[in-house]
Homo-oligomer: A and B are copies of this chain.
Amino acid sequence: MSEADVAVVGAGLAGLVAARELRAAGASVAVLEARDRVGGRTLNEPLGDGQVVEVGGQWLGPTQDRIAALAREVGVDTFSTHVTGARLIEFDGRLRRYTGRIPRIGPAVLADVQQAMLKLDRLARRVPLDAPWEAPRAEHLDSQTLWSWMRRNVYTRGGRALLELATEAVWAAEPAEISLLHILFYIHSAGRFEVLLETEGGAQQDRFVGGSQLVSLRMAEELGDAVELSAPVRRIEHSSDGVLVVADGDEIRARRAIVAIPPPLCGRIAYDPPLPGYRDQLTQRMSQGSVIKCMAVYDAPFWRDEGLSGEATSDAGPAKLTFDNTPPSGSPGVLVGFLEGARARQYGRFTPAQRREAVLKGFARLFGDRAGRPDRFIERAWADEEWSRGCYGCYMPPGGWTQFGQALRTPIGPIHWAGAETATVWSGYMDGAVQSGQRAASEVLSALGSAVVPTG
């Protein structure tokens, strides 16, 4: 058994940021991580020659100032996502190239999507980020799915198909599954709907040199022995005196705990005494999205020679969204495609060989036969991962925010909550994870008060 001022559960971005801030303020920390690695839902996959691609979260963009500052602090550079060249859109059986932001599909459909997104943006601005349940008509917004809203506010079949695709891309779930209020909160936490979808000027604008996991790896290096791997936390005993955090192979006695894992996984830890029903039932309702990230590695990004950016949208798929994911050196060439929501559930039950074949067939339809014959195929089904159980993040079903939202961040005795889902800005993103770690650290420091004497 060890002792620390604060025990942190989970060595993803949120947990590591919290630990780092606490230590900087003079508190001792112990971080317990279930996996044999840090980084949570960020994970580098080596491509050889020191190059990597990410099988988890990978992008950052404008206004994501927290993750950008953190990357700078730990010496991780960023570079621009490759966007030079034409985009592709496969829609209603036709494949077209286009440049700029406006895909070459019917103007009525485009106008329809545009007005719907503007409407959502306008509604989103009225949702308080720290208390979505206090939005005007919160109950009304939280009582319906995005699907129900789309039935009344999106007028063309094509418009609905495109918005469904956008929803899958951002939330890794279907419009049918998500509370309209959650959609609005999430949009507001990022700024505007379009920002969530875009490369240039949007959430997919930039990438990390060396891979997004490097940020966590660097923080873990700093923290040294304070981070313990392969130590899944099974039980947290708590009282006004503090906590005993029991993991496989170790126990930490601490004055406070920060649990920095996704809400459904929070519910899988045994608490003694058990947590109040109100908090527990929240963790029964926030669900992880479903995504399988697939990458094909080629000797070179051959599509660039043909004037293509590698970015493609397809209603046929199975990967509905594709991007150029080539490392900054320009070689090897990498295409990344996403199976999301219903697709991830359907293809998640295929064999890896069946999935590979289907995804590559889709790539070949978009980028030519050569795309169907990569040197390597990499995939990651995050729902299968015991310590994530889905990606990119959790969403609220109807009724979730208004009935249980107040339980999301409220500490229970000495137990505090962090993780991208608890963020008020860029909820569900790396930037939100950083914010949540900072917020939880600051809650704990203020609770510990003068007992922590800064050493710096």
Contact = CB atoms under 8 A, between A and B. Distances in A.
B288 A284 contact: yes
A346 B420 CA distance: 27
Contact of A345 (B144, B268, B403): B403
Number of copies: 2
Report whether over half of chain A's contact residues are helix, strand or loop; otherwise say mixed: mixed
Interface in A56-98: none
Contacts of A177: 397-400, 403
Interface residues of A, number: 48
A139 interface: yes
A417 interface: no
Contact of A277 (B278, B381, B403): B381
B274 A386 contact: yes
Interface in A325-350: 342, 345, 348-349
A398 B397 contact: yes
A403 B342 contact: yes
Nearest to A382: B277
A281 B287 contact: yes
Contacts of A381: 277
Given A348-B277, A398-B147, A142 B176 contact: yes
A215 to B, nearest CB: 26
A384 interface: yes
Given A174-B403, A176-B402, 7 more contacts: A147-B398, A176-B398, A276-B384, A277-B290, A277-B381, A278-B348, A278-B349
21 contacts: A139-B176, A143-B145, A143-B148, A143-B174, A144-B147, A144-B176, A145-B148, A148-B148, A176-B399, A264-B267, A264-B284, A268-B268, A276-B349, A277-B348, A277-B381, A277-B390, A281-B345, A284-B287, A284-B389, A345-B404, A397-B397
